[in-house]
């Protein structure tokens, strides 16, 4: 059985002492590939900003904590989806200008 790739590929954003990994949301069929990708990037915490499409127990059993931050009716901002927008907010909090945060995410 062939393991499905995560599409699009995860994007790792690094600024100052923080690292963010932006991924497409997994489902119960792709959760094992997702966990492998998280481990490859040493992820310890996942912030889920979309409605649940997978069970968190498998992540928790691998030592990965899941935080749910679902926002009703939040869509793209400047061409960025929910996860990239939250990363942009974090980058702005770390001192980047909005334009620079968006440019860094789009690299």
Catalytic residues: 76
By three-state DSSP, how is residue 104 classified? helix
Which tokens hold the place of 80? Answer: 């960025």
By three-state DSSP, how is residue 74 classified? coil
Whole-structure pTM value = 0.80
Which tokens hold the place of 49? Answer: 């900003």
Q: Any idea where the domains of the chain sit in the sequence?
A: 11-106
Question: Does 47 or 73 have the greater pLDDT score?
Answer: 47
Distance (Å, whole) CA 37 – CA 88 = 22
Give me the CATH code for the 11-106 domain, please.
3.90.190.10
pLDDT digits (tens, 9 = 90+) for 4-57: 555 678 899 999 999 999 988 899 999 999 999 999 999 999 998 888 889 999
Half-sphere exposure of 73 (CA within 13 A, CB side): 0
Chain center to CA of 45: 10
């Amino acid at each position: 059985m062939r393991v499905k790739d995560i599409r699009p590929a995860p994007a790792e954003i690094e600024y100052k002492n923080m690292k963010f990994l932006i991924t497409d949301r997994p489902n119960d069929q792709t959760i094992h590939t997702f966990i492998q990708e998280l481990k490859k990037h040493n992820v310890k915490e996942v912030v889920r900003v979309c409605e649940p499409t997978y069970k968190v127990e498998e992540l928790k059993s691998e030592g990965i904590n899941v935080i749910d931050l679902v926002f009703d009716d939040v869509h793209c901002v400047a061409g960025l989806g929910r996860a990239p927008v939250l990363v942009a907010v974090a980058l702005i909090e770390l001192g980047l200008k909005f334009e620079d945060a968006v440019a860094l995410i789009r690299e």
